[in-house]
Amino acid sequence: MSKQYICSELFKSMDLRFIQNSITNCCKANKVRLSIEDFKDPNILFNNAELQSRRESMVLDNKLPESGCSGCIKFLPHSFFDNRNHWTDTFLNEDFKQKLLTEDIVNRFTINLSSACDLKCVYCAPKDSSSWAKEVGVPTIRPNSEWFNAAFNNFITYLKNKKYDPNTPYFFIISGGEPTYNPHNLELIKQIISIVPNKNLEIVLHTNFNTKEKVFNEYIKLFRDNKDVQCGFTVSLDSVEGRSEAIRHGLNWERAMKNLNFVLDNNFSNINVRIANTLSVYSAPYFKDDIEFYLDNFGEEKTKEFFRPGEGFNYAVEPGMHIMGMPEHFKEDQNKAIDFCSKNKLNYLIPHLEKIQNLIGTKINDSTAYDYDIAYSYFKIKRPETDWDRLFPHMQGMIDELYDMYPNKERYVSNTSNLLRPVNSYAIGKKE
């Protein structure tokens, strides 16, 4: 037997993005574009040439494929590889290697039907949020209706033809945009339930919990009516209260808490809730305060359910958003969080906090301050109803500190006439 380091996402995951006419392995992997003609092949979603090439690269060459995994490769050794991979240091015999190259063992599906969204999260972009697109004055990305129907029907056919292992759980993640804004997602979930063996099925809705009561109740009813299916809400909340409303701009915190408490108060046997935290330069210093909020309001048991080990944590990677450009003294905020978790029986969170520490300060260069400055200036001018300096008192001082490291670097100066969009909205250096 030979020892290999193989990313499970290349073999066990499928990420279908209707808004980008594409398929890939995970949200960090490069997209593979598909045409209407491609969908004449009922096996195209698994057996297309590019995805097969990536799998071969992993098994035969024992490395992340450059054509697909540039995001992880770019940030090595500090990447998402460790966070998402479930096969670290796995011993693989030749029979299993052959199975990886020839058999469909996909059991984790992420489906994104639309970019329709009511929020403008700081690290998001017009391609993923219709609200972002509206703010920066670009068209909302929508798939051609003919392409949408061909892709939707091909995926349903794929599910019907797929062989399901009775001992394997199957996870379906419905994402967006905001998935509750697209009525097609209800139909999609109904189709999945009718096809996949329910005893092995888990459906998770990636939502902002900003959903209004009528639509929210439709999903609750669908989940309650299918008690054999494990259902869940993974709720995207990156901080609490005012900070959360600023980071996920457009969020009504009270409504999100109302929806959260509704699920908890009813204690549904097959419906759970997790908190998904996308860590950015805006939220990293306040992790201790955020965890303390959940402990104070929901107790130790629920807090542990919200934040499960190895789940629910992601990292913003865009310039102006990621934590790797923060000066190293910001590691002290994580030390405070570590001490707090140690004292409050939340030791399972400590490895995550240590990973944050290891990332801080690893990507500081002469453009770091400029990138942070562009984004922060944009938000303060374009979203003046938010008191950014009060909610994020670390930001301006940190930007100044980073400029001081490179005194020859020209500072970014903005006003309403020359305001630059943040890099995550695809227009760094481009005027409004």
Core vs surface per residue 325-337: b (16+ CB within 10 A) or e = bbeeebbebbeeb
Which whole number is the average pLDDT over 103-121? Answer: 94
How many Cα neighbours within 13 Å face the side chain of 339? Answer: 7
Which whole number is the average pLDDT over 310-331? Answer: 87
How confident is the model at residue 245, as a pLDDT? 98
At residue 312's C-alpha, the angle toward residues 332 and 335, to 5°, is 10
Cα distance between residue 128 and residue 176, in whole Å: 7
Helical residues (DSSP H) of 120-144, grouped into ranges: 130-136
For the chain, give the mean pLDDT: 89
Question: Which of 175-179, 284-288, 314-318, 422-426 has the least mean pLDDT?
Answer: 422-426
Question: What's the domain range around 74?
Answer: 1-105
The answer for residues whose C-beta is within 8 angstroms of residue 25's C-beta and 6 or more apart is 9, 10, 13, 14, 15, 51, 54, 68
In a domain, 81, yes or no: yes
209: helix, strand or coil: coil
CA distances from 77 to 8, 28, 228, 407 (A): 18, 15, 41, 29
Q: Are 281 and 399 contacting, i.e. CB atoms less than 8 angstroms apart?
A: no
Q: Which amino acid is at 128?
A: D
Q: Which amino acid is at 301?
A: E
Q: What pLDDT digit, counting tens, does each position of 196-233 carry?
A: 999 999 999 999 999 999 999 999 999 999 999 999 99
How confident is the model at residue 19, as a pLDDT? 80
- Listed in order, strand segments (DSSP E) in 51-150 are 90-92, 108-112, 120-121
Which whole number is the average pLDDT over 23-38? Answer: 88
Does 426 or 56 have the greater pLDDT score?
A: 56
Question: pTM for the whole thing?
Answer: 0.86
How confident is the model at residue 81, as a pLDDT? 53
Question: Which of 38-42, 65-69, 299-303 has the least mean pLDDT?
Answer: 65-69
pLDDT band at 20 (very low <50, low <70, confident <90, very high): confident
Cα distance between residue 24 and residue 13, in whole Å: 8
How confident is the model at residue 142, as a pLDDT? 82
In a domain, 10, yes or no: yes
Q: What pLDDT digit, counting tens, does each position of 133-191 carry?
A: 999 888 888 878 999 999 999 999 999 999 999 999 999 999 989 999 888 999 999 99
Q: Are 428 and 319 contacting, i.e. CB atoms less than 8 angstroms apart?
A: yes
Question: What values do phi and psi take at 178, rounded to 5?
Answer: -110, 110
How confident is the model at residue 132, as a pLDDT? 94
Cα distance between residue 168 and residue 325, in whole Å: 41
In a domain, 407, yes or no: no
DSSP string, 267-279: T-TTEEEEEEEEE
In a domain, 46, yes or no: yes
Cα distance between residue 62 and residue 49, in whole Å: 19
317: helix, strand or coil: coil
Cα distance between residue 61 and residue 253, in whole Å: 48
pLDDT band at 80 (very low <50, low <70, confident <90, very high): low
In a domain, 20, yes or no: yes
In a domain, 302, yes or no: no
pLDDT band at 312 (very low <50, low <70, confident <90, very high): low
Which 8-state DSSP code applies to residue 129? -
How confident is the model at residue 426, as a pLDDT? 45
How confident is the model at residue 26, as a pLDDT? 81
Which whole number is the average pLDDT over 32-40? Answer: 94
Axis-axis angle for helices 394-405, 368-382 (nearest 10): 150
How confident is the model at residue 309, as a pLDDT? 60
Q: Which amino acid is at 231?
A: C
In a domain, 184, yes or no: no
How confident is the model at residue 347, as a pLDDT? 92
In a domain, 76, yes or no: yes
Cα distance between residue 292 and residue 296, in whole Å: 6
pLDDT band at 94 (very low <50, low <70, confident <90, very high): confident
pLDDT band at 425 (very low <50, low <70, confident <90, very high): low
**Total of domains in the chain:** 1
pLDDT of 86 strictly over 70? no
424: helix, strand or coil: helix
Q: What pLDDT digit, counting tens, does each position of 365-421 carry?
A: 999 999 999 999 999 999 999 999 999 999 999 999 999 999 998 999 888 778 887
Q: Are 294 and 302 contacting, i.e. CB atoms less than 8 angstroms apart?
A: yes
